[in-house]
Structure 1
Amino acid sequence: MVVEVPRWSNAKMEIATKDPLNPIKQDVKKGKLRYVANLFPYKGYIWNYGAIPQTWEDPGHNDKHTGCCGDNDPIDVCEIGSKVCARGEIIRVKVLGILAMIDEGETDWKVIAINVDDPDAANYNDISDVKRLKPGYLEATVDWFRRYKVPDGKPENEFAFNAEFKDKDFAVDIIKSTHDYWKALVTKKTDGKGISCMNTTVSESPFKCDPDAAKAIVEALPPPCDSSCTVPTDVDKWFHHQKN
């Protein structure tokens, strides 16, 4: 997985699918950088959050499990290991299960996984191991995803399967299907509707570009935000919300 948001942090970082080479950028809403609220008792994100490369939740495909189309992004991952990862870090993970979230009418799968280098990784092989060894964590995960947009004035999110986690085999099947949708996308068999498929590695892709051209794009970008960029003080605010 590619880590977009380290655990306990608030900045809503994500792979910018419409930008050349798909960099990780902070989401912007109404001209302001977006931060996820601290919804009591949680501090920011409660796992290392990111995505699996070479996957795509096709907005033109109506998912048979949820009855909703994909959210037009790579498939999301919640990594539950003990290490707080760095933004942009690429880690190998063991897939354990999956949650079917429905976000504003779109299918938004959440894969549960653990870093293969975690000291306890050998003890985790399926979603049942998470229930047994990290009591309350899966319930907190559903609670977090259900309510995290409420402080922004949005309604609670919904879930397929009555918010129950599906097991590892089910999760792997979903990941494989999103990989197939991605392959159709980068080989121009599907209309990406604005997604930049520029890449340097996929030999059968008509979007493959020369590494020097890719390097020139990266070098032309403005420098990343330095220490003078301050995080708004209200990012540390606690939100208390009555559960429905």
Structure 2
Amino acid sequence: MSSNVSYTVDERGASNSLDYRVYFKDATGQPISPWHDIPLFSDQSKKIYNMVVEIPRWSNAKMEIATAEPLNPIKQDVKKGALRYVRNPFPHKGYIWNYGAFPQTWEDPTHVDPSTHAKGDNDPIDVLEIGQRVANRGEVLQVKILGTVALIDEGETDWKIITINVDDPLAEQLNDIDDVEKFMPGFLRATIEWFKIYKIPDGKPANEFAFNGEAKNREFAEKVVEETANFWKALVGKSPNESKLDLKNTKLSNDYSVKVEDSKSIVEAKAVTSSLDKVPIADQSAIDKWYYIKLN
């Protein structure tokens, strides 16, 4: 059902450390940027998209594509010098979907969205994959879009595109946002609840949403993704680079393309990960803990 292109990952540095990175390689072993070099579509005629998995379901480490680093590896988000982990707002454990991003998209921070009245968040668009299988970090899934919700995060539009892996047992039944409630009752409610409360254990207020938290349908979501894809095209097509983002790539043949040997040097400059390399989490008990939240 899916036109699956093979990608592999190359982990560098010790996990649970500031040095940990996940680089991507194509089928020939050439390093690539998961943001710029993996196409948005796996099969455009069937509207099947490529999703880069940053965070497997049930995990807590807040991983993200490093948009400001060469070849944009996945790294753990850092705040005030500390690695970030999401808490477990009861009854949820970590992220409740496979969480990631669509390649070749960008939420333009200078563009005010007419439907949310807020600017973009300067990242590739976020994707939730709601299927049954727990994916692997760095995996590239073929998904179809079902709908979207929009957070307003610190005054910025933060779209969350809801998708399903095309190989999931429910994929044929799920074709639009209403099908999610029909075949997975309670899932959309849990999704909105999670996004609303997940920052509260860290002392932050409840998140706000555009559209009063209503999930928009597939057609609406596909238009949002198309718009962010056009923003990305404009970003990588503009020279010189006025953003603080790293636009190096190996496939686009533009001003930011690098040679194979240079892409390999970028990866090889990072320490190789040993199977024994794993730094203990400083406060594992806080990661495992359930936080009971009462909204006013």
Bin for the TM-score computed over the shorter chain: over 0.9
Q: How far 1:223 sits from its partner (Å)?
A: 3.1
Distance 1:172 1:83 in 2: 24
| Structure 2 counterpart of 1:30, from 55, 80, 101 | 80
What is the TM-score when the length of structure 1 is the normalising length? 0.96
Counting aligned pairs with the same residue, the percent is 57
Would you identify which runs of 4 or more consecutive aligned residues in structure 1 move more than 2 Å? 189-193, 222-228
Distance 1:73 1:126 in 2: 25
1:210-235: CA deviation from partner (whole Å, max 9, x where unpaired): 12211110111123484441123221
Q: Which residues in structure 2 correspond to 1:208-227 (within 5 Å)?
A: 208-224=257-273, 226-227=276-277
Q: How far 1:48 sits from its partner (Å)?
A: 0.2
Residue 130, structure 1, aligned to residue 180, structure 2: yes
Distance 1:190 1:47 in 2: 38
**Structure 1 pair 192/156, CA: closer, same or farther in 2 (3 Å)?**
farther
Q: How far 1:192 sits from its partner (Å)?
A: 5.1
SS where residue 177 of structure 1 aligns?
helix
1:114-166: CA deviation from partner (whole Å, max 9, x where unpaired): 00111221111000100111111101101111111111111111111111000
Distance 2:241 2:112 in 1: 16
Q: Which residues in structure 2 correspond to 1:174-189 (within 5 Å)?
A: 174-188=224-238
Matched with 1:112 is 162
Matched with 1:241 is 293
Q: Which moved more, 1:217-226 or 1:57-66?
A: 217-226
**Structure 1 pair 189/175, CA: closer, same or farther in 2 (3 Å)?**
farther
Distance 1:144 1:25 in 2: 23
Distance 1:227 1:208 in 2: 32
**Structure 1 pair 200/149, CA: closer, same or farther in 2 (3 Å)?**
same
SS where residue 247 of structure 2 aligns?
coil
Distance 1:192 1:162 in 2: 35
**Structure 1 pair 181/150, CA: closer, same or farther in 2 (3 Å)?**
same
Matched with 1:168 is 218
Matched with 1:87 is 137
SS where residue 122 of structure 1 aligns?
coil
Distance 1:224 1:161 in 2: 44
Matched with 1:11 is 61
The one-letter code matched in structure 1 to 2:86 is V
What is the TM-score when the length of structure 2 is the normalising length? 0.80
1:9-63: CA deviation from partner (whole Å, max 9, x where unpaired): 0000000100001000001111111100001000000000000000000001011
Distance 1:68 1:191 in 2: 24
| Structure 2 counterpart of 1:75, from 125, 147, 153 | 125
Q: Check whether the contact 2:56–2:99 (CA below 8 A) recurs between aligned residues.
A: yes
Please list every run of 5 or more consecutive structure 2 residues that lacks an aligned counterpart in the other structure.
1-50
Q: Which moved more, 1:143-152 or 1:189-198?
A: 189-198
| Structure 2 counterpart of 1:121, from 161, 165, 171 | 171
The number of equivalent residue pairs is 243
| Structure 2 counterpart of 1:153, from 178, 192, 203 | 203
Q: How far 1:104 sits from its partner (Å)?
A: 0.9
1:179-220: CA deviation from partner (whole Å, max 9, x where unpaired): 0000011111695521000001112x2111112211110111
RMSD: 1.4
The one-letter code matched in structure 1 to 2:288 is D
